[in-house]
Structure 1
Amino acid sequence: MKPHKVKLFFYFVLLLTFIGGALFLNGGQRAVTAGTEEAYPDLEIFTEVLRQIQENYVEPQDPKKLIYGAVKGMVQSLDPHSSFMTKDEYQELMLETKGSFTGIGIEITIKDNILTVVSPIEGTPAYKVGLKAGDKIIKIEDKSTKNMTLMDAVKRIRGPKGTKVKLTILREGERKPLVFSITRDVIPLKSVRAFLLEPGIGYVRISTFQSKTAKDLAKAVGDLEEKGRLNGLILDLRNNPGGLLSQAIEVSDYFLDSGIIVTTKGRKHSQDIVARAHKNGETRDYPIIVLVNGGSASASEIVAGALQDNKRAVILGTRTFGKGSVQTILPLSDGSALRLTTARYYTPSGRSIQLSGIQPDIELAFVPPEKKKKKNEEKRFLREEDLERHMPGEGKEEPEEKGGKETSSPVKRSEKAKELIERDNQVRHALQLLKTWNIFSQMKGISAAK
């Protein structure tokens, strides 16, 4: 047999290994279906094309590169979330879910055939320069993203710490493309942070769902509870692109004592899962408000849907991203892997959120804060005390001049809490709702006691 034919035969075996791995992995000892058997004759066309390229193309080609390209194209034709990963890409993905990676810190997807930002990860270079959920990336450096695969885009955007990458963006409301030059950095995926907004009301931000998110959440909420009884909690899932399904289930379970969390349904029975909540050691009966927006996707939507359908939380914000599918990582024999959509998921009430997303109970868009006005420019209503020759109040001292001491003691807040409440209208609204909730609960308790 001629050397090039031996090589071609070797790569044909490699292709069959790919297909066999994809068909049988996680499939137990089940027989290949009739549909699969029908696909095998079509492989003759593939090998014929491969042979023609090997023998007649103007320049010699690497067969492995050709096969990898064909496999990528095949998987890319399925849906925006399925992809083929080389060995290096697979290893990088595994590192990412466990701790950190080097890049700019964005989650991307293909939407309407355009590379689109799902959300920037909080505190990362992408977040700091102002990339937003929904931004359409039309160029990476000077390379058009048209027909670019997700994995290729990720590879181009990532790079060594300290180097720069230029992204050209189309943004709704902007007449011209925006160009961002972003310096890459190590992206530490600290997925949970928490603090008190004021005594009795906690704020927990989950930025992504990675391998230790549920554990970190339990510690964060436990620390808040040690500072005194919690009367309410704001759970912030805005711009959270998702992550591990298992962690979304554990986070939901942390706040629920019973009921269904999520149901997944696929072609195989092994993909059909009904995840249920279990009674936890401590009862957490305080009200919860979950913040969401268009950058809340996948695992975030599972948590929001579970708490909403089980009447455990009020959802506030804007409609979520609408990714209602589950991807499974299938390792292949040569160290590469498939990221394959294997199931759809449904909220406890049976809703599929694919495309429709989670509709908030309270629709409230985020309003960017205006620049601070100077003290003398701040709007102030004219009051009785401002009128000349005003009558003194009965049994009360005159109010102090502007800039003097406040007569009532303000709520004690940390600088972090003050800054967040001042610049974030959705957090402010959620805080007011929780405070009102507590007032009405107290009134109800008084009425019941009479």
Structure 2
Amino acid sequence: MQRVKRFFLLTTGVTIAILAVMASMQFVKRTVTRSDQDYLNLFRQVIGTVDKSYVEKVEPKKLMQSAITGMLASLDPHSAYLPPEPFKEMNIQMSGSFGGLGIEITMKDGKLTVVSPIEDTPAFRAGIKPNDHIAKIDDKPTRGLTITEAVNRMRGKQGTKVTLSILREGSPTPLVFPLVRATIQTKSLKFRTLEPGYGLVRISHFQQHTGDEVVAALDKLRGQNDGTLKGLIIDLRNNPGGLLESCTQVAGRFIGDRLDNGLIVSTRGRLPDANQQLTASIGPKEPPYPIVVLINGGTASASEILAGALQDHKRAIVMGTQSFGKGSVQSVITLRDGAGLKLTTALYYTPSGRSIQAKGITPDIVVGNIDLKEAKKQTTPEFHEKDLDGHMIVPEKGDTQPPSPATRPSTPAKPDGELAGDYQLFRALELLRGLDVMAVAPLPRKNDRHNPR
């Protein structure tokens, strides 16, 4: 009898376990197969509950906008809902004129972080640096703010004041920066002759007229050097990107010829129109003088595309440190109420098929920035796209990895004059001088050129 009882208990236990598993499987099945309509009903239920029971009355418009903002923020760091005013300001910024402090910001580990200050702006002149964490805006903590909310707090009328409290790696106490807001007329680029025959073009941002400005700068540099350049440095450090069209115009000045337009970048996405190949346009090209492109952790997006295209086509030597790795394409869609939707729709690939996303461009020659007065490398670490919360990850399969970079000596020869404060620029000019002495140009002959398709 006892044996029967045990058997009964055993079979009963097994039966209960089987029923529990079956119930669990049915629950999982119901959860997985929940329809879109079920989720819409759930959304309405939550909105209705908040509207009815929350401790304070909340405007339905605010609830809806917050829901949209949260939905897009959950996708990746660059997709966003832009209310009418920020959307209008973004369009103005792309034209080269906008109000504010001049800081490109993002979210890193839930913290408001500087990607790069824009040259000749209040933030740049005050000494704000890439990777600075903005802890407070006018004594109000930034934790929990969205990028749009933070931007709205930093914007204001020209001449009004705002104070940023910054946490910086290596600084034991917060750094306080009292700033005055300005209507910022950003300059797309600067140029100058470093020494006879050698020119520098510093592109700080890709705007509507950057392509034309580069052509004009190169013509003026030639005029300053008896009509000929022996070498050129294109400085893309702390360039946060901008308009892709302007980037391809600049690249097209150096890539391609009469027989071959030359691939600059390709994009790949889900929709057919997201899959494109952008090539250099037919037109005047620069002579095959040596070029060095300078990049660092603040080099992002369109500036990475330019560096990658020149590197893949063997048209330039890339020098500096690893770039940021922002290799996603954002399509900007105008909504009915004047707001905008910035949505990631594709990924960028260099001419050889390398993905930029969360990887960046690896320099051919790694040269860190060095404080020549102290003869040591700066200790402030750079951060990149791969450090951002929710960044997109591209599988390694199919990627062509760049060659292993060479590393420059850590103990520099000390330059004189205006190059004394910029070791990377000094080493770039030193390399151009060496190429000139050796009569070596980095552009191969047509039949030898690596011309990926």
Normalised by the length of structure 1, the TM-score is 0.77
What does residue 277 of structure 1 align with? 280
Q: CA separation of 1:52/1:237 partners in 2, compared to 1, >3 Å: closer, same or farther?
A: same
- Number of residue pairs the alignment of both structures matches: 363
Do the aligned partners of 1:233 and 1:287 also contact (CA within 8 Å) in 2? yes
Task: Please give the per-residue CA displacement for 1:40-97, whole angstroms capped at 9, x wherever unaligned.
Answer: 4311122222223333434433211211111111111111111111111111111110
Instruction: Note if contact 1:420-1:427 (Cα within 8 Å) is conserved in structure 2.
Output: no
- The runs of 5 or more residues in structure 1 that have no matched partner are 1-34, 372-416, 444-450
Alignment of 1:11-410 (within 5 A): 38-227=35-224, 228-257=227-256, 258-370=261-373
> Shift in Å at residue 279 of structure 1?
4.3
Deviations 1:86-119 (A, max 9, x none): 1111111111100211211110111222211111
Match of 1:434 in 2: 432
C-alpha deviation, 1:197, in angstroms: 1.1
Identity of aligned residues (%): 48
Q: What do the CA deviations read for 1:186-209 (whole angstroms, capped 9, x no partner)?
A: 211110111111221111010001
Alpha-carbon distance in structure 1 between the residues aligned to 2:77 and 2:417: 38
Give the distance between the partners of 1:324 and 1:434, measured in 2 at CA: 29
Q: Deviations over 1:160-205 (max 9, x none)?
A: 1222222222212222222222221121111011111122111101
CA distance in 2, matches of 1:335, 1:171: 38
Write the distance in 2 (CA, Å) between the matches of 1:176 and 1:53: 41
Q: Distance in 1 between matches of 2:440 and 2:366?
A: 27
Check whether the contact 2:255–2:285 (CA below 8 A) recurs between aligned residues.
Answer: no
Report the counterpart of residue 400 of structure 1 in structure 2.
Answer: none
Aligned to 1:195, what secondary structure does the other structure show? strand
Q: Deviations over 1:230-266 (max 9, x none)?
A: 1110000001111111111111111111432111111
Partner of 2:439, secondary structure, is: helix
SS of the equivalent of 1:234 reads strand
Determine the C-alpha separation between the residues in 1 that align with 2:158 and 2:107: 26
SS of aligned partner of 2:426: helix
**Is the contact made by 2:134 and 2:167 (CA closer than 8 Å) also made in structure 1?**
yes
Partner residue in 2 for 1:407: none
1:147 CA displacement: 2.2
The residue type paired with residue 271 of structure 2 is: K
Using the TM superposition, give the Cα deviation of residue 277 of structure 1 relative to its aligned residue in structure 2, in angstroms.
2.2
Shift of 1:283: 4.1
CA distance in 2, matches of 1:311, 1:38: 52
Return the letter of the residue paired with 1:350.
G
Inter-partner Cα distance in structure 1 for 2:35 and 2:302: 36
Per the alignment, do residues 442 and 96 of structure 1 end up closer, same or farther by CA in structure 2, a change over 3 Å counting? Answer: closer
Contact kept, 8 Å, 1:264 with 1:274, in 2: the verdict is yes
One of 409, 420, 423 as aligned partner of 1:422: 420
Q: For residue 434 of structure 1, give the secondary structure of its aligned residue in structure 2.
A: helix
Distance 1:420 1:353 in 2: 33
2:96 and 2:185 in contact (8 A); partners too? yes
Gaps of 5+ in 2: 1-31, 375-414, 442-453
The Cα shift of 1:439 comes to 1.3
Q: Which moved more, 1:267-276 or 1:280-289?
A: 280-289
Which string of whole-angstrom CA distances, capped at 9 and with x for unpartnered residues, describes residues 119-143 of structure 1? 1111111111111111112222222
Q: Determine if contact 2:83/2:339 at 8 Å carries over to the other structure.
A: yes
CA distance in 1, matches of 2:137, 2:75: 24
CA contact (8 A) 1:256 1:278 kept: no
Structure-2 separation of matches of 1:283 and 1:163:
45
Specify the SS of the correspondent of 2:318.
strand
**Is the 2:253–2:285 contact (alpha carbons within 8 Å) kept by the matching residues of 1?**
no
Q: Secondary structure at the match of 2:183?
A: strand
- Superposed CA RMSD in Å reads 2.1
Q: Following TM superposition, by how much is the alpha carbon of 1:144 offset from its aligned partner in structure 2, in angstroms?
A: 2.0
> How far, CA to CA, are the matches of 1:431 and 1:283 in structure 2?
19
Deviation at 1:434, TM superposition (A): 0.9
What is the DSSP-based 3-state SS (H/G/I as helix, E as strand, rest coil) of the residue aligned with 1:334?
coil
1:83–1:150 contact (8 Å) kept in structure 2: no
